[in-house]
Amino acid sequence: MKYLLISLGVLLLIIFGIVIFNRGGTKTVNTPGKKPVVLMDYLNNNNATVQFSVEGPINAIENHRTTLITVGPTSRNVTVFTGYQGQSLVSKTYPNDTNSYSAFLAALNRAGFTRDRKLANGVNSESVCPTGSRNHYLLVDNGKDQMNLWSAPCASGSFGGSVGLTTTLFQAQIPNYGNVVNIPQSTTN
């Protein structure tokens, strides 16, 4: 009986050792990931805005355009920039209110505005689609990016939401959007 108990104890130690060895001998610790962005948390924050921009193809300074739409709880703005230094060509601002902003944030949420996608190292918006456009999706609070994602028609970007729906939602925030941003390219003689 004594040898049976000793054998059983040795067997339990061996099994315990195998279990510990297979687990790496340490406890698994869950590291907290990036906190997900919740758009509705920014509804009553007058210092927070959502932004959408379309940067045109890599071309001559005179022809390069970027359109930025910024929507906050009290205002909506569209600005068209020319060149690569961000010189404002046209800018229009419209008032906004809490009900409109709430509906807009809910629609953006439905479109997956905060959904991100993991990318391979070295892939960024500046290195893709040199002859096409690149879209940028931002949530800015007190001048600090809380979210900064991008998409491009020729490559999968970090934005995991619906590009078409998000684009439509932002453009619909600007009255006569097409007329406001339809600025002829500069010409040289």
pTM above 0.85, yes or no: no
Structural domains of the chain, with CATH:
39-181 (3.30.1560)
**Taking a C-beta distance cutoff of 8 angstroms, is the pair 160, 115 a contact?**
yes
- Please state which of the ranges 10-19, 54-63, 96-105, 111-120 shows the lowest mean pLDDT: 10-19
CB neighbour class for 122 (10 Å; exposed up to 12, middle 13-18, buried from 19): exposed
- Whole-angstrom distance, CA of residue 112 vs CA of residue 49: 16
C-alpha separations of 65 from 74, 78, 95, 152, 179 in Å = 26, 13, 25, 16, 15
Encoded amino acid at 90, one letter = V
Q: At what angle do helices 98-110 and 163-171 cross, to 10 degrees?
A: 170
**DSSP characters for 76-107?**
EEEEEEETTTTEEEEEEEEE--HHHHHHHHHH
SS3 16: helix
pLDDT digits (tens, 9 = 90+) for 87-135: 999 999 999 999 999 999 999 999 999 999 888 776 777 778 888 899 9
